[in-house]
Amino acid sequence: MPAVNPAPGHPGLASSPASAPAPAGDSPPASSPAPASRKVVLEPAEIRRALTRIAHEILERTDGGAGTVLLGIPTRGVPLARRLAERIEQVEGRPMPYGSLDITMYRDDLRLRPARALGRTEVPAGGIDGAIVVLVDDVLYSGRTVRAALDALNDLGRPRAVQLAVLIDRGHRELPVRPDYVGKNLPTSKQEVVRVMLTEVDGEDAVLLGRAADQPPGDPPPGDQPAGGTGAGRSRG
């Protein structure tokens, strides 16, 4: 299932069949008869260029990547971290350690929905103590995923610094979090849905912006603030 980022006021809505986008690998998304109309925001070539640029920025800001570890947040942050590591390796000619950091157990909205399956946490052999950790995720939204990731990191060790790289920054922060590296700033309304598709997970590369057709309009009710998502497309913070 692709990543879905519904409005924060409607956790779990995207998991219902009515509002879930059609599964990956079907007809071209822009013309698919899904309830939501959506347009392509990033083409595969643009995703490629954005990642190459981020890889160079990481090298510049970490003194050539020495003592740096890339940790992707499942699901789609993990292949992004791997792609960044591969690019950095091509440029620098030495391996860039990368891994994954599952944040499920640290989420602040666990009690709002049934318990979900865990992702994988794999920290490179050198660990993260004293390293510069670059967290990698697909979409930055409320900031809650990043907060959870910082808590998770805290239990794994003590990095020298933590930075954040995201493919899409769609705004609407609910916490004081800012990214260090951004593939594309994408102004959105909270009613819109950003869907990142990656070859490793979805069979093709694309970033789509759509409107959740079945989503009721209006502001979310108070107290319902944690950004929602589905087990597959988690809320991205």
Partner 1 sequence: MNRHLISAGDLTRDDALLILDTADELAQISDRPIKKLPTLRGRTVVNLFFEDSTRTRISFEAAAKRLSADVINFSAKGSSVAKGESLKDTALTLEAMGADAVIVRHSASGAPQRLAGWVRGTVVNAGDGSHEHPTQALLDSFTIRRHFGRSASSRAAASPADGALDGLRVTIVGDVLHSRVARSNVLLLHTLGADVTLVAPPTLVPVAVGSWPCHVSYDFDSALPKSDVVMMLRVQQERMNAAYFPSVREYSRRYGLDAARMAQLPDQAIVMHPGPMNRGVEIAAEVADSARSTIVEQVANGVSVRMAVLYLLLGGAEGES
Under the rule (CB under 8 A), what is the footprint of partner 1? 102, 105-106, 110-121, 151, 155-157
Nearer residue to partner 1 within complex by CB, 116 or 173 = 116
Shortest Cβ 137–partner 1 spacing (Å): 19
Nearer residue to partner 1 within complex by CB, 60 or 155 = 155
Shortest Cβ 142–partner 1 spacing (Å): 19
Nearer residue to partner 1 within complex by CB, 45 or 117 = 117
Q: Give residue 234's identity as a one-letter amino acid code.
A: R
Nearer residue to partner 1 within complex by CB, 49 or 120 = 120
Nearest to 184 by CA among 48, 35, 50: 50
Shortest Cβ 61–partner 1 spacing (Å): 29
Question: How would you label 56-69 residue by residue, b for 16+ Cβ within 10 Å and e otherwise?
Answer: eebbeebeebeebb
- Give 146's Cβ-side CA count (13 Å radius): 26
Task: Give me the residues paired with residue 137 across strands.
Answer: 166
Shortest Cβ 55–partner 1 spacing (Å): 26
H or E segment at 121? none
